[in-house]
Amino acid sequence: MELSRKFLVKPGKMAGKLKLKEWFDYDANKRKEDVEKDFTHFYSRMSELQYKLYADNRQSLLIILQGVDASGKDGTIRHVMGALNPLSCYAKSFKVPTTEDLSHDYLWRVHMAVPSKGQIAIFNRSHYEDVIEVGVHNLIPRNELTLRYTQINDFERYLSENHVTILKFFLHISKDEQKKRLMARLQDPSKRWKVSESDLKNRKYWDNYMESYEKVLNMCSTKYAPWYIVPSNLKWFRNWVVAQIVVETLDNMKLKYPQPKIDASKFSIE
């Protein structure tokens, strides 16, 4: 069985039933020492498949990373996606919308960053901020918030129908683990800059964030844009899960090298 099935939020079947407190499971038979061996294979295969995606030039891959502050979005990009060639791969971070962003619809800045054919894009946060953050802090009316779930599903269906494969990872850590990581950052001069006042204030809304994420996962995991919940208290386990699912997904895209433009049998190189 593919690993992806274990962490998949099954479309339709989970609706309204998913509770994040039940998703801290990880493969107890997997040891950190084994992961190093696996990563050698994953890195090699990921690099090979990225090259094939670039050559094929008919599809693209969009990887979305979501999670609370300190859940490991940056670390996942650094450790898992390190095998990818920046020639056809880029990361995009979605921070507080700019004045220009706010002058358009909320999906405008996201659509602008969608990968073109042959490319891989990694979103550090995404359009889901426009239901999670605004929902937790009551920034828009409830009826408008409800409408956005439908709009996001429609948007992702549109991308899928236009050959964008979408992978969505929720990096799931506990409240205690978040506290430990934020404290470690505050004590490390090289990482202290990463902690903002809002990171600390938002801990007061932990339960609200969990409810908001549960709603997103329940309502927006679809066949064409599935959500995966990745237990992320153990960083090495998080990286192993994400890397394997990315490789599985690229493998399943049925990528092909294009036909050569010349008949090699008719030419020789002196």
- Does the pLDDT of residue 28 top 70, yes or no? no
Q: Per this entry, what is the length of the chain?
A: 270
254-266 tens-digit pLDDT: 999 998 877 777 7
Q: When comparing pLDDT for 146 and 32, which is higher?
A: 146
Q: Which fold has domain 3-253?
A: Rossmann fold (3.40.50)
Q: For 71-85, what is the mean pLDDT?
A: 94
The answer to pTM > 0.85 is yes
| Domain-wise residue ranges, the chain | 3-253
Confidence of residue 15 (pLDDT cuts 50, 70, 90): low
Take residue 207 and report the two structure tokens written for it: 């339960």
Secondary structure string (H, E, C) spanning 116-167:
CCCCEEEEECCCCHHHHHHHHCCCCCHHHHHHHHHHHHHHHHHHHHCCEEEE
What average pLDDT is seen over the chain? Answer: 92
107-133 tens-digit pLDDT: 999 999 999 999 999 999 999 999 999
Confidence of residue 231 (pLDDT cuts 50, 70, 90): very high
Q: pLDDT above 90 covers what percent of the chain?
A: 77
Q: For 69-94, what is the mean pLDDT?
A: 94
